[in-house]
A = this chain, B = another copy of it.
Amino acid sequence: MTDKNGAESDGKTASSPKEVKIVFTPSGRQGQVVTGTNLLQAARQLGVDIDSVCGGRAMCGRCQIDVGEGQFAKHGITSSAASLSAPSSSEARYAEKRGLPAGRRLACQCVIQNNLVIDVPATSQVHNQLVRKAADNREIALNPPIRLCFIEVREPDMHEPSGDLRRVIEALHTQWPDRVKGEVSCAVHVLQSLQGCLRKGKWQITVGLRDGQQIIAIWPGLKTQILGAAIDVGSTTISAQLCDMNTGEVLAATGIMNPQIRFGEDLMSRVSYGLMNEGGAGEMTKAVRDGLQQLLEGGAKQAGCEPEDVLEIVLVGNPVMHHLLLGIDPIELGGAPFALAIDSAAEMRASEIDLRLHPGSMVYVLPCIAGHVGADAAGVVLAEGPQNREDISLLIDVGTNAEIVLGNKDRLLAASSPTGPAFEGAQISAGQRAAPGAIERMRIDPETLEPRFSVIGSDIWSNEEGFADAIKDTGITGICGSGIIEALGEMYLAGIISAEGVIDGNLASRTDRIRANGRTFSYHITDTVSILQNDVRAIQLAKAALHAGFRLLMDKMQLERVDRVILAGAFGSYIDPKYAMILGMVPDCPLDKVIAAGNSAGAGARMALLNTDQRRAIEETVRHIEKIETAVEADFQNHFVRAMAFPHKTDPYPFLSAAVSLPPRDLSDNVASEDNPGRRRGGRRNRNSA
């Protein structure tokens, strides 16, 4: 005996229908159903979200479930595999062809015959219920903009003439009533292939349905996988994660150098290039789009797919990258008043930014927050979620401009600080990018003033056995951003530099690592790598800007401290929170609350890729962020000047002081600072006096 869904049911149940109880875990949803009901339909009636692409035809295998066995006292029922109909022939065929784990059933093929507890495994859930872990261990709820819907379409009938598209839409409505929202439209490129596709698929096709109302793609027969790409367009590197849009799984992660680098290393040099060269902005736009295309083709290949399988792209990037990518000349971002062309999210066809993927591919770009706080910062906010928390988060993404966001569920503020490229190793005599051979960690013995250090590419410290061997391929080529931060922190702790950042020439008598260098002094780590007084100044300027930025936002919120600090981006992953705090790059707080978040911007992009609710959420959040332009804030200058020194000398850093043996605080200096009108709460009060 076979019901209309092709599932076999035994005669007894069919002949005497009765009400039974069914409980779904982990959702806990439950209800009474009549025996003979199809399990997938029962689940839907109870609002239990079980995935399906083929629409109940035992083809896609997405609706797998496990049956609870035994007595469930909590629910007052006994459940067993025998409470479901035996596997149908279609289900047996599926198990034979694709395999089914022991005990697993296809819900679409099961008929309910008695009380049941059904467990829906994570891989069979799809909507908001589900959280899955991706490569970087973040949990992302799925609610993708595009859903694959397999349909069987009525053949044309001369007695009742209608267009093929009408019957496709009719099939969507009847076979996927939960997925269709309102009037369904169809892209022209789909229309062009519709008739051939229907006939090739023998009136069975898979529709790519976007937002429940746009047919953006079709395939003959059953199609079960399409890709989406979350892309972080950085000034230096562009990284992409290609995901299965149906499962959220990251199938490929890939990156390339931003091809715009040939137009200038940092952002402002690229803005200048556009300004100085007719058509320069257009060249840079073409370069970054070509780079994206190359990246996506490589990523698709890595995922075992074709570029035509990419249907959705989410992009984040700083404002200049954002504008250049969209073909907007970033000239206005190069000078006051730093007006963005658009500060809301943007959606467009991939072909509009010259990407050659599936013709139905769409691009969603997260909103920029302000002229120097980009869509990448919006991605960080989305990933770290300060707007969903009671405690106060400070998010810092260090680059040529540091992007800073402060606040909690009640209020969020954002600003950028012009840190310049010193943290990236530029403007430092022995500075270099983070690459093999660069000093990245460093300690100084406070007695002997001797340094020990390690270089990128090796875990062995310079005073340990095997160091020379470990670095024989690279040598010691310079010092990178995280290295110089540790070097300055250690020099301060060892008394080599004062709270004001002056290298103490008197110590030259104790060690020849300190040597005169014109009218100033320098500290020599190796024969070729040394820290000059000018290097200290460059880092002081950069960290003072950063400090002044978050200090200004803390003033605005009348905060003395924050509850946690998130360091986003690659740079944030490499710096030691202790040294960052000693230099004042972060405010005082428990060291374990300073968190390196890695590529948060990319993680935010992936969240937006896989869940349209997150898009609406971040748009709403960004709309309500208070944008602070540091350039017009008198307090920023006050903070900046004051922040040149090592901050614990003037401000209390109780958590840091408890964790690290710091030089004694200079109380006279501290007292003097109380007169400074720019400090803390005073900032708001004294704005007009500036």
Contacts and interface: CB of A to CB of B under 8 A. Distances in A.
B163 A342 contact: yes
Interface residues of A, number: 46
Interface string A10-26: 00000000000000000
A162 interface: yes
Given A159-B632, A337-B157, A337-B158, A165 B342 contact: yes
Contacts of A159: 629, 632
Contact of A348 (B188, B336, B339, B344): B188
Contacts of A337: 155-158, 161
Copies of this protein in the complex? 2
A158 to B, nearest CB: 4
A507 to B, nearest CB: 45
B340 A188 contact: no
Closest 5 CB pairs between A and B? A163-B343, A156-B339, A163-B340, A156-B337, A158-B629
Contacts of A341: 163-165, 191, 194-195
Interface stretch (A295-303, A309-317, A321-329): A321-329
A655 interface: no
A166 interface: yes
B329 A196 contact: yes
A348 B194 CA distance: 16
A340 B164 contact: yes
A273 to B, nearest CB: 18
A405 interface: no
Nearest to A194: B341
Nearest to A183: B344
Contact of A163 (B160, B161, B162, B368): B368
Contacts of A186: 342
Contacts of A631: 158
A277 interface: no
A352 interface: yes
A430 B161 CA distance: 38
A346 interface: yes
Contacts of A346: 188, 191
Given A161-B340, A194-B341, 17 more contacts: A155-B337, A158-B336, A158-B632, A161-B371, A161-B627, A163-B368, A164-B332, A164-B342, A165-B341, A165-B342, A166-B344, A188-B326, A188-B348, A189-B352, A192-B329, A194-B328, A195-B331
Contacts of A162: 339-340, 343, 627
A162 B373 CA distance: 12
Contacts of A165: 341-344
A165 B326 CA distance: 14
Contacts of A342: 163-166, 186, 191, 194
A80 to B, nearest CB: 50
Contact of A343 (B166, B188, B328, B343): B166
Interface string A330-372: 0110001111111110101000110000000000000010110
A331 B196 CA distance: 10
Contacts of A627: 160-162
Interface string A380-394: 000000000000000
8 contacts: A155-B337, A156-B338, A161-B629, A163-B340, A163-B343, A163-B344, A163-B368, A164-B340
Nearest to A331: B195
A161 to B, nearest CB: 4
A314 to B, nearest CB: 16
A130 B627 CA distance: 47
A162 B165 CA distance: 43
Interface centre among A326, A338, A344, A348 (most CB of B within 10 A): A344
A452 to B, nearest CB: 47
